[in-house]
Amino acid sequence: MQAQTTGTSLQDLSGEIARLDSHYAPGTIQSVLLAESALDEVQPLQKQLQSWFLLAEHACYDRFFVNACLDNAKLTRRKYKLILQRVSLEAKAFLRKDHIEHLDNELKRKNHP
């Protein structure tokens, strides 16, 4: 299933997602800059994955085993979507934690001059 998305094949997309997964391995997002960078990288890959899926889904209707093709496309999308979601959730969790710590420090500073 090699549907093309604006010049990006599934092979290219999977390589980018694998690179992102290894660069932002679980537990490695430990700074605001890294978290923001991760989110900036995840967003376009999510859009590319969705574009690939729509094209792959459309291409399945030209095949004899339509349902098997659709199932394969859905499984492929799910596999890569889970990686993107993990990176995104970890980055957002770090940013929330940092924001809460910042608010707590501000509150302590106001209450204890």
At 112 the pLDDT is 78
At 8 the pLDDT is 67
What string of pLDDT tens digits covers the 113 residues of the chain?
Answer: 444 434 468 999 999 999 999 999 999 999 999 999 999 999 999 999 999 999 999 999 998 899 999 999 999 999 999 999 999 999 999 999 999 999 999 998 888 76
At 9 the pLDDT is 87
Taking CA atoms, 72 is separated from 41, 48, 56, 67, in Å, by 26, 18, 10, 8
Helix axes 32-60 and 10-23, enclosed angle (nearest 10): 160
Contact, 62 vs 56, CB < 8 A?
no
Q: What pTM value is reported for the model?
A: 0.82
For residue 99, give every residue at least 6 positions away whose Cβ sits within 8 Å of its Cβ, in sequence order, or none: none
For residue 97, give every residue at least 6 positions away whose Cβ sits within 8 Å of its Cβ, in sequence order, or none: none
